[in-house]
Amino acid sequence: MNLKLPGWSLAAGSAFSFAVLLHAAPAARGVQVDITGPADGSRHAWNSQLSYAVTATYDGKSTKFDELPANDVVLRAAYVANVDAPSAHGASALPDAIVQISQSNCTGCHDFNASSAGPSFAAIGKRYSGDANSVAMLAAHIRNGSTGAWGGGTMPPHPDISPTHASAIAQWIVAHGNDPAVHYSVGKSGSLRMTAVGKPGPDSGVVLSAFYTGPLKAGDSRAAAGRTMVVIRGS
């Protein structure tokens, strides 16, 4: 763990500072993320639902005590045909679009895969898949709002989302929003579904990866210590 504690060496010899150091050790500055459920290696039936729970700590603050808001946590559930294949365990980074989605109020109205106050990202991705102009159009809708683009609802403007971030979100929705193999959840707890793509084999399963998506101090990395990945086998 990379502890950046300038000045500690000056007082490291005193019993007082040693005690403080011991006490301070868990409040490390780096990102720590732990999937506390479901259990790694557990088996769950295809099409069943299961609860998940994640804790995140960063800069001495924890989701446990709401010092970090629940939407600073994102869980990714990726279907893999063979959970034992090394590629299934490769830690791929979280797309920046998902970080932006979790940090804005997007999920107050949009779910990833089902209807809410707005259409799901999957439904938007499906409608605009292959439409070259759609990214710019959706990015404009995110920034400026829209009416009547989808049902009778109104998309409010989001001047707080920069044009670059709006474009990244739109790009992700069109390219990956409707990916049947990958599902995202924002929040430190919730449910997920054991969804297979096609007919699952005996070694097929779902790989869960948890991420901290909150603000970072200059120089810090999103790369987290802890049980950030859990493999579930389908049955």
Partner 1 sequence: MERRTFLKTVAAGIGASLVGTAAEAQKPHTAKAKRVIVAGAGITGLCCAYELMQHGIDATVLEASGRYGGHVFTGHDGLSDGLWADYGADHLTKPGYEQFFRYVEAFGLEAVPYPNAEGSPLPANNGQLTQIGGKFYTDAMLAEPATLKALGLNPKEVTFLSERRWYELPALYLGDYLARFHDSSQPFGSGFDELDAIDLDTLYAKQGASKRARDYLGGQHVNALYGLWRFAVMKDRGIPLSEGETFHLKGGNEEMPKAFAARLGARVRLNHPIAAIQHDASGVTVTYTAFGYDEPQTMRADYLVNCISLPLFRRIALTPALSPAKQYVVDNVAYSSHPFFIFEAESKFWLDDGFTNLAMSFEHADISMAWAVPEAPASTRVIIKAFGPSGLSPQRVLAAFREVYPGKRDTIVQALTYDWSKDSFAPTCEMEPFAPGTLRRFWPEIMKPDGRLYFAGTYADALSRGMESCVRSAARVAKEIADA
Number of residues this chain uses to bind partner 1 (CB under 8 A): 35
Nearest 5 degrees, angle CA 197-CA 203-CA 208? 65
Min dist. Cβ of residue 125 to partner 1 (A): 16
117 burial class (0-12, 13-18, 19+ CB within 10 angstroms)? exposed
Query: Among 17, 154, 175, 176, which residue interacts with partner 1 (rule: CB under 8 A)?
Result: 154
C-beta of 218: minimal distance to partner 1 in Å? 27
Question: How far is residue 156 from each of residues 3, 31, 151, measured CA to CA in Å?
Answer: 42, 33, 14
Q: Give yes or no for residue 111 binding partner 1 (CB under 8 A).
A: yes
CA distances from 135 to 120, 122, 175 (A): 16, 15, 9
Residues 141, 143, 158, 183: which binds partner 1 (CB under 8 A)? 158
Among 14, 82, 92, 115, binds partner 1 (CB under 8 A): 115
Among 5, 18, 43, 64, binds partner 1 (CB under 8 A): 64
Concatenating the DSSP letter of every residue in 84-95 gives TSGGGG--PPPP
Q: Counting contacts by CB under 8 A, is residue 145 touching partner 1?
A: yes
Q: In 3-state terms, what secondary structure has residue 213? A: coil
Binding site for partner 1 (CB under 8 A): 47-51, 53, 64, 70, 105, 108-109, 111, 113-117, 119, 145, 148, 151-154, 156-158, 160, 185, 187, 189-193
